[in-house]
Amino acid sequence: MIKISIISERISQFSVISIVLIYGLLMSEYINIINSKIIEAEIPIMENNQIFTLFMSFSFMMTLLSAFVVWLISSFLFHLFAILFGGVANFKEILKFSALCYILPAIIFLIAIVLVESTTFPKENLDFFFSSTKSLVLIKWLIYISSSFCFIALIPIIKYLYLISWYRALLSIIIPLGSIYLLGQFFSNYIF
């Protein structure tokens, strides 16, 4: 607990927000590049359209905003479940450490941007292209793995920060993520 407290004191709010902001900007840019390349390949006339430009700007801002919303909500849920399992800690502490976990996904998004920028999309069969191009499949898996690592890295942090067992720290991560996943599956199957 003493080591975690010392580390937590050295982390400023500015650096925490900066990490999430950089992650959000890189994720937004990656999605923006993918969307632009798809539109360029399928409907080239839309590329210089003002409505399309406005839509892309709106999409960029919403993706950036979603990075902060997901960070805050997931941190709150991890904090809530750690407290329900008998842990005691300040919410600001988990916010700091969960933001640090976004460093690796941000680096992966930077690599993904470089790889996607150099990729030329075909005019047809985009589904096959996305599933068969090794660099795009690699990007997808790197994003999944880095995001998973983000949550796995929080398990020891929650254990030592909230002073709970490994099992309870694991449950503090698995229950919120599993609930969100199941809700997403429910809504995707029954609403759309």
3-state secondary structure 10-37: HCCHHHHHHHHHHHHHHHHHHHHHHHHH
Enter the DSSP assignment of 123. S
Q: pLDDT exceeding 90 applies to what percent of the chain? A: 40
Residue 66 has pLDDT above 80, yes or no: yes
The rounded distance, in Å, linking the Cα atoms of 169 and 173 is 7
**pLDDT above 60 for 2:** no
- pTM tops 0.75, yes or no: yes
Whole-number pLDDT of residue 150:
86
Q: d(Cα 31, Cα 29) in Å, to the nearest integer?
A: 5
Predicted pLDDT of residue 7: 65
Instruction: State mean pLDDT over 182-187.
Output: 84
pLDDT of residue 73 exceeding 90, the answer is yes
Q: Does residue 46 surpass a pLDDT of 90?
A: no
Distance, CA of 116 to CA of 108 (rounded, Å): 12
Cβ–Cβ < 8 Å for 164, 190: no
State residue 47's pLDDT score. Answer: 63
What does the pLDDT look like over 120-143, one tens digit per residue? 777 777 777 777 778 888 888 988
- DSSP states of 59-70: HHHHHHHHHHHH
Q: How confident is the model at residue 107 (pLDDT cuts 50, 70, 90)?
A: very high
Confidence band of 8 (pLDDT split at 50, 70, 90):
low
Span 26-33, average pLDDT: 93
Quote the CA–CA distance of 47 and 100 in Å, as a whole number. 36
Q: Give yes or no for residue 161 having a pLDDT over 70.
A: yes
Indicate the average pLDDT of the chain. Answer: 85
Q: What is the DSSP code string of 162-174?
A: HT--HHHHHHHHH
Q: Which pLDDT value is given to residue 74?
A: 92
**Which of 59-73, 106-120, 161-175 is the least confident region?**
106-120
Q: Work out whether the CA dihedral 79, 145, 113, 125 comes out positive or negative.
A: negative
Tally of CA atoms within 13 A in the half-sphere of 137 that contains its CB:
7
Please provide the distance, in angstroms rounded to a whole number, between the alpha carbons at the two ends of the chain. 46
* Closest alpha carbon to 94 in 80, 105, 108: 80
Does the pLDDT at position 3 exceed 70? no
Q: How far apart are CA 91 and CA 71, in angstroms?
A: 13
- Rounded to 5°, the CA angle 97-29-19 comes to 20
Confidence of residue 38 (pLDDT cuts 50, 70, 90): confident
Dist. CA 82–CA 169, nearest whole Å: 7
